[in-house]
Amino acid sequence: MSYGRAGTSEVRETRTGERRVTLTVNGERRVVEVEPRLLLAHLLREGLSLRGTHLGCDTTNCGACTVLLDGEPVKSCTMLAVQADGHEVTTVEGLGTPGELDPVQEGFSREHGLQCGFCTAGMMLTARALLDRVPDPSEEDVRWALSGNLCRCTGYQNIVKAVLWAADQERTS
Amino acid sequence: MTALDEIKIGGLGASRRRVEDARFVRGRGNYTDDIVLPGMLHMEILRSPLAHARITSIDTSRAWEIPGVRLVLTGEMMAQRNLAWMPTLSYDTQAVLATDKVRFQGQEVCVVVADDPYIAKDGCDAIVVEYEPLTPVVNPLQSRAADAPLIRDDKEGQVDNTCYRWEVGDRAATERAFAQADVVSRMQLHYPRSHPSPIECCGSIADFDPATQKLTVYMTTQAPHIIRAAVALVAELPEHMIRIVSPDIGGGFGNKVPVYPGYVASILASILLGRPVKWIEDRTGNLASTGFGRDMYLAAEMALRSDGRILAVRMHADTDQGAFFADAQPTKFKIGLLHSAFACYDIGTGHITAQGHYTNKAPGGVAYRCSFRVTEAMFFQERMMQAAAVDLGMDQAEFRRINLLRDDAFPARTPFGFLVDSGQYGKCLRLGLDAIGYEQFLVDQAEARTRGRRLGIGISTMTEPLGAGNSREYDILGIKMFDSAELRVHMTGKAILRVGAKSQGQGHETTWGQIVAHELGIPAADVIVEEGDTDTAPFGMGTYASRSTPVAGAAISMVARKVRAKARKLAAHLLECSEEDVEWELGRLYVRGAPHRGATIQECAMAAYSNMPDGMEPGLENVAYYDPPNLTWPFACYIATVEVDPETGVWDVLRFVAVDDCGVRINPMVVEGQIMGGLTEAYAMSSMQFQTYDAEGNMVGSNYMDYLLPTAWETPGFELHEVVTPCPHHPIGAKGVGECAAVGGPAAFVNAVHDALSDTGVRNIDMPLLPDRVWQALQDGRDVSGMPPVRSD
Amino acid sequence: MYPSRFRYEAPHSLDEARSLLAQYGDEAKVLAGGQSLVPLLKLRFAAPELLVDINGVPGLGHHRVEAGVLRVGALCRHVDLERSSVLARHPLVASAAPLIADPIVRNRGTLVGSLCHADPQGDWASVLLALGGHVVAEGPHGRRPIPMAEFTLGPFQNALRPGEIAVEAVAPAPRGQVSGRYLKLERRVGDFATVGVAVALETDGDRVVRAGIALTGVGPHTIAATAAEQALVGRPLTAATVEEAAQLAAEASRPKGDHRGSVAYKRHVVATFVRRGLARTDLEAVA
């Protein structure tokens, strides 16, 4: 089984070829044993059951699998799970709280920034990182920052509005 | 008692926030790949690297030796179970796994089922297939050449590479009209092969239970009921023992209508292994083997009077179908609704001929965000309109205006048999021209030209037939194209609505509730919508061709009205009056002449379970199957302005104005979302997105490095306007809208670039208008063809 | 897409990394940003026995300017250069950084990794070539500089010897007045260059002291347009010299016609971009 076996921090013999990886996912410390060839996206989806991260292409173009690695967007299909050892990963499940949406999530819903929802997690995480770095982005900033994430449904216009809405919300609150 | 505010309860016209978003923004959607079943195995497909080759041997022995590999299937093994070939939705056959030869690059040759997909992929790599290469055919010219290899030698009686022939219209009248013409305008062009390419690829999880003999398939399908019927026929399983579940779908655009070999192979694998088998396609598999759209060639002529009136249109279309005729389209119309071209214009008469061609390319010809080839129809139409205006020396807006159907012309029968029922075309065009500032632009354009700058403006006006059926004319494999809705109102007035359509992002869970709110006054928030499970949803033909609102949406109105009729009986009982004396206002029934004496719909619902009159069947629910009397005819006017850099051929969109008349808008926010999404695909097709082939039949555009979808950076902003002409036959006056912008949009961009080149003698550059093509046209003052094979020098 | 099996090591020192590479030779691959390598692994176009992940090796993430010399460590990401504040004297690097791949890829990918990958369509190789830069390799026999002009041997082939690792890319200190620009014809953000042109100029008054012109995507590897450079050196930038350089650069290109454009088109874009690259605002009066 190469998807990664989630475990605790207890010392346990690793199977041949598997590596123990300790990472923090959405604030929670996780220790897993994985084959080196396992992609981070697959560890998150299958090993850790965080299925909000989607896969859309094989060539690092679509950005559907975007997660935050130590706060910066990365394409989790283009990283090995072993490379996340010692790092912090934020997935869409780590946005907001059970009771309250992150302003970016709220903005996407309010401005109709999603249709099928498949690219949405990646879009929102990229947007989150942008707003953390640039609290007052222009439309051009937003379009540029999102240019590594493909959306097929919306035409982006409402996605851009959603991010600007969130920025506005965060500045005024 | 004040009347209910329909907007407040989320009725018609409310830009209600989407119900779906609550799970999607939290990453809690439930797409096919998110489903995990106990004991589930994983399937990967080994595909052909060659476009045309005889298979001489397949050695799977090393794959079987890999620990974790559970099953390897070849075409021969499929053939033993009579499953090597399957029917397509256009009465052709398609190989599930190749037995004799491969007919396109990317064709399915073997599948491997293993404990996880990494091992399944290892298994595919361990299979050795030997091929004897054959000559590949990559365009219709090669396909019909005298010495062309016979691609479909599997088909009895097939002597050449012709897939179908079709014609419509009045040949004799058209010839007479051309004889009278002052000017004949000619156009030749290619609408390139394009792929719908939703961000979620296709996939399935087949779960055959050996104990109950029931097969459940979770899969990415826009039409689960059609799939159930197909599986019953192909796999010879009883239909009641097949359950198709279409969970959340990450975009469809027509790509997820056909039946694909991966689905069938995963089903057989599950039956053989008695365990669930998951197949999730990779992007190359999606782009290289599943349903593409377009790939059509046009040669057309328009007969014109010198005053600008159109006398007749003559068109011949050649379609490149790839190796199998795998369109999903109505039986009667071999080239879809191509003959809807010019439906918004008074063209006198016309004649269309068409021929389909087998080639060594991926199979398809699906309706990509499109009602069966209307995209090609409207693109050809609007390119011809521009060329004709140029030939006449007329202003392109004025040429359209004088030929558009006038408001008093409806209903109008087109020369090709459609009945166009409504519209305000002149108003839409004028609104668009005013919004873009047409007259001023022409002045600015002329002034810019004197300084060497090339500005252009492109117009596209069109109506298109959305929402197949009616069932008299429209069927797929004999199944009539109606749709359905089932509404059950619970005793507290909350409701569940099940529909035969299937959303892939269109927001049905949101808008369907709004129709119920409009018809019954039950707040939309009190209605839960379910689609996609064939065990629970009533039979429907699914969602494509912008048919959900025209057909399923109408069924929802009709079922709600049936429920309302019963509520009226319950109200009469509660109000102790005769049924004839009960009046309806939104959400409430009351006694005529005594409006204070009434019962809300919720009170009627409670009575249906707790206080029904003697002899009345309990409960408050019904089902409606809706067969529309006609298609719906939305109209659109799209106008783009561009600037072309003559040094590089790069062009930028300056502005884009869209005027859409899609009738009554259920949820304006959702409608605008559909339009912006469609315009983006229009921009994509006009500028960068296409698939082509080299001379060996290798696909260019089989991954996202070469199959280009525009990003937020390139995609222009869109300025949206609306006109509302209610559909005369739809219960709430709505029309289809999902595809309008993708259908009508491309010509606006393309016409704008050609307008910027209007002094060069360039009549046509085939899409996409890649910078090198635009530059080449400018260099040579000649047209640029996009017909494959691509050059390699 | 699922990679084949491989061994994975994440050394914590350069010595350790070097000895792993020496031990495995051609069967080992260095993993830095991974934005080209991981896709190749997924497509199974690459199937190394061992991956040596150098992300844990200290001292490689830098980029700094010392005495005018720009040094970019093997773990310096594209994004670091995009957001850098030390590139005032290296405008070509600053202008190329935002044009590499897409914003998310730039967060991981590295300049040095891109040079090593030696994709004929890679942008950084042209930039370093135009600047007259070099790559610093560390191997069993110590450290050696490899001039950029000798670093790329062909498509996806670099000049590193078995056991060597590229630790730094270096651009020399420019003299006089500096300008530079990277022009890239891409079909869309994130696309590889159909044509890329790197232009670096050092001028003294109105005379060109040094000119660097290099071409991306128009040959089996990055091309130094040497004749075009020579045509500028020692002369003022005038319409005539610019035109001469543009034509010479176009002649130096060796494009193939494909779905991105014909030979004639690509040559034409090379000339156009050289012209545009040289037509800087600060030189408008001269040109």
Strand-pair category, C152-154 with C157-158: antiparallel
Rounded CA-CA distance C253/C263 in Å is 9
pLDDT tens, position by position, B648-697: 999 999 999 999 999 999 999 999 999 999 999 999 999 999 999 999 99
Average pLDDT of the segment spanning B694-713: 97
Give me B273's structure tokens: 């292994």
Q: Is C258 on the interface with B (CB under 8 A)?
A: yes
Q: What CATH number did the domain enclosing A131 receive?
A: 1.10.150.120
Question: Residue B430: enclosing H or E segment and its boundaries?
Answer: helix B425-436
3-state percent helix, strand, coil for chain B, nearest multiple of 5: 30, 25, 45
Same domain, yes or no: A24 and A63: yes
The CATH architecture one would assign to domain C7-56 is 2-Layer Sandwich (3.30)
CB atoms A152 and B713 under 8 Å: no
Please tell me if the domain spanning B21-28+483-626 has the same topology as the one spanning B34-134+201-249+256-289: no
Q: Report whether pLDDT(B115) > 70.
A: yes
Question: Residue A32: enclosing H or E segment and its boundaries?
Answer: strand A28-34
Same domain, yes or no: A107 and A90: no
Neighboring chain C residues of A35 at a CB cutoff of 8 Å = 5
pLDDT of the residue at A5: 53
Residue where a domain stops, chosen among A48, A72, A94: A94
Of A153, A139, A109, A160, nearest to B676 by C-alpha is A153
Rounded CA-CA distance C195/C225 in Å is 14
Give me A59's structure tokens: 């060539």
Q: Report whether pLDDT(B360) > 50.
A: yes
Give me B509's structure tokens: 């869970």
Task: Provide the strand spans (E) within C155-284.
Answer: 157-158, 165-171, 177-185, 195-204, 207-216, 223-224
| Sequence-distant (≥ 6) Cβ neighbours of residue C147 within 8 angstroms | C132, C133, C134
DSSP assignment of B673-691, as one string? HHHHHHHHHHHHHHHT--B
Task: State how far the alpha carbon of B202 is from the alpha carbons of B26, B198, B374, C238, C283, in Å.
Answer: 23, 9, 24, 58, 55
Sign, Cα dihedral of B330, B416, B461, B466? negative
Rounded to 5 degrees, φ, ψ at B77 are -65, -35
Quote the longest CA-to-CA distance of chain B: 88
pLDDT of the residue at C271: 98
Neighboring chain B residues of A81 at a CB cutoff of 8 Å = none
| Sequence-distant (≥ 6) Cβ neighbours of residue B237 within 8 angstroms | B215, B231
Tell me the average pLDDT of chain B: 96
Could you state, in order of their start, the residue ranges of all structural domains in chain C? 7-56, 63-171, 178-283
pLDDT tens, position by position, B422-432: 999 999 999 99
Residue where a domain stops, chosen among A47, A70, A94: A94
Residue B455's SS3 state is strand
Contact B626, B415 (CB under 8 A): no
What is the model's pTM?
A: 0.97
Q: Is the peptide bond before B469 cis (omega within 30 degrees of 0)?
A: yes
Contact A123, A143 (CB under 8 A): no
Of B199, C118, C5, B325, nearest to A152 by C-alpha is B199
Strand-pair category, A5-7 with A28-34: antiparallel
Q: Determine the residue type at B486.
A: E
Of C98, C144, C153, C103, nearest to C125 by C-alpha is C153
User: Could you tell me where the DSSP H helices lie in B181-321?
Assistant: 224-234, 261-273, 283-289
Rounded CA-CA distance A162/A137 in Å is 12
Neighbours, chain C (3 or more CB pairs < 8 A): A, B
Q: Report whether pLDDT(A7) > 70.
A: no
Instruction: Tally Cβ neighbours within 10 Å of residue C170.
Output: 18
Q: Is C45 on the interface with B (CB under 8 A)?
A: no
Q: Determine the residue type at B188.
A: Q
Q: Determine the residue type at A21.
A: V
Of B293, B280, B347, nearest to B319 by C-alpha is B293
Calculate how close chain A gets to B607, using CA atoms only, in Å: 37
| Distance linking the first and last C-alpha atoms of chain B | 80
Calculate how close chain C gets to A74, using CA atoms only, in Å: 6
Name the burial class of residue A111, with classes exposed (0-12), middle (13-18) and buried (19+) by CB atoms within 10 angstroms of its CB.
buried
More confident residue, B251 or A8: B251
- Considering its fold, how many domains does chain A have in total? 2
| Distance linking the first and last C-alpha atoms of chain A | 47
pLDDT of the residue at B104: 98
Q: What percent of chain B clears pLDDT 70, i.e. is strictly above it?
A: 100
pLDDT of the residue at C283: 43
Rounded CA-CA distance B715/B685 in Å is 12
pLDDT tens, position by position, B490-535: 999 999 999 999 999 999 999 999 999 999 999 999 999 999 999 9
Rounded CA-CA distance B130/B107 in Å is 14
Q: Determine the residue type at B788.
A: P
Rounded to an integer, what is the distance from CA A68 to the centroid of its chain?
5
pLDDT-derived band at A173, boundaries 50, 70, 90: confident
Could you state, in order of their start, the residue ranges of all structural domains in chain B? 21-28+483-626, 34-134+201-249+256-289, 293-468+630-780
Rounded CA-CA distance B258/B252 in Å is 11
Question: Residue C93: enclosing H or E segment and its boundaries?
Answer: helix C91-96
Same domain, yes or no: A72 and A119: no
pLDDT-derived band at A3, boundaries 50, 70, 90: low
Contact B675, B660 (CB under 8 A): yes
Rounded CA-CA distance B539/B73 in Å is 33
Domain C63-171 - what CATH class?
Answer: alpha beta
The CATH architecture one would assign to domain B34-134+201-249+256-289 is Alpha-Beta Complex (3.90)
Q: Is the peptide bond before B789 cis (omega within 30 degrees of 0)?
A: yes
pLDDT-derived band at C284, boundaries 50, 70, 90: very low
Residue where a domain stops, chosen among A94, A111, A129: A94
Nearest by CB to B712, which of A50, A96, A159? A159
Is CATH 3.30.390.50 the classification given to domain C178-283? Answer: yes
Same domain, yes or no: A18 and A63: yes
Give me B66's structure tokens: 């890999």
Rounded to an integer, what is the distance from CA C164 to the centroid of its chain?
19
Rounded CA-CA distance B62/B64 in Å is 5
| Sequence-distant (≥ 6) Cβ neighbours of residue B2 within 8 angstroms | none
pLDDT tens, position by position, A135-153: 999 999 999 999 999 999 9
Task: State how far the alpha carbon of B413 is from the alpha carbons of B346, B372, B421, B541, B635, in Å.
Answer: 10, 20, 9, 27, 16
Rounded CA-CA distance B714/B652 in Å is 9
Of C244, C236, C249, nearest to C209 by C-alpha is C236
Task: State how far the alpha carbon of B11 is from the alpha carbons of B535, B664, C280, in Å.
Answer: 29, 12, 59
User: Can you give the residue range of the structural domain that contains A28?
Assistant: 5-94
Residue C224's SS3 state is strand
* Stretch 7-66 of chain C: residues touching chain A, C-beta under 8 Å: 7-8, 10, 31, 34-35, 38-39, 41-43, 51, 53, 55
| Sequence-distant (≥ 6) Cβ neighbours of residue B72 within 8 angstroms | B60, B63, B64, B110, B111, B112, B113, B123, B127
Q: Is B444 left (phi over 0), alpha (psi -120 to 50) or beta?
A: alpha
pLDDT of the residue at B3: 76
Neighboring chain C residues of A70 at a CB cutoff of 8 Å = none
pLDDT tens, position by position, B361-408: 999 988 899 989 999 999 999 999 999 999 999 999 999 999 999 999
ipTM computed for the complex? 0.97
| Distance linking the first and last C-alpha atoms of chain C | 52
Rounded CA-CA distance A140/A129 in Å is 16
pLDDT of the residue at B2: 65
Q: Is B282 on the interface with C (CB under 8 A)?
A: yes
Q: Considering just the CA atoms, what is the radius of gyration of chain A in Å?
A: 17
Neighbours, chain B (3 or more CB pairs < 8 A): A, C
pLDDT tens, position by position, B219-235: 999 999 999 998 898 88
Rounded CA-CA distance A129/A145 in Å is 9
Q: What CATH number did the domain enclosing A78 receive?
A: 3.10.20.30
Q: Is C257 on the interface with B (CB under 8 A)?
A: yes
Question: Residue A69: enclosing H or E segment and its boundaries?
Answer: strand A66-69
* Owner of token pair 């909000």: A52
Task: List the strands of the sheet with B620-626, edge to edge.
Answer: B527-531, B495-499, B483-489, B620-626
Contact B374, B458 (CB under 8 A): no
3-state percent helix, strand, coil for chain A, nearest multiple of 5: 35, 15, 45
Same domain, yes or no: A83 and A137: no
Q: Is the peptide bond before B411 cis (omega within 30 degrees of 0)?
A: yes
Q: Report whether pLDDT(A15) > 70.
A: no
Same domain, yes or no: A109 and A32: no
Q: Report whether pLDDT(B173) > 70.
A: yes
* Owner of token pair 């070099």: C134
Contact C172, C148 (CB under 8 A): no
Number of helices followed by number of strands (H, E) in chain A = 5, 6
Fold of B21-28+483-626: Aldehyde Oxidoreductase; domain 4 (3.30.365)
Rounded to 5 degrees, φ, ψ at B657 are -115, 135
Q: Determine the residue type at B539.
A: F
The CATH architecture one would assign to domain B293-468+630-780 is 2-Layer Sandwich (3.30)
CB atoms B282 and C269 under 8 Å: no
Nearest by CB to B282, which of C1, C191, C194? C1
Nearest CA in chain C to B695: C258
Tell me the average pLDDT of chain C: 95
Q: Among the listed ranges A5-9, A117-121, B22-26, B650-654, which one has the minimum average pLDDT value?
A: A5-9
Same domain, yes or no: A88 and A116: no
Write out the catalytic residue numbers of B: 222, 369-370, 739
Neighboring chain A residues of B713 at a CB cutoff of 8 Å = 143-144, 146-147
Contact A131, A68 (CB under 8 A): no
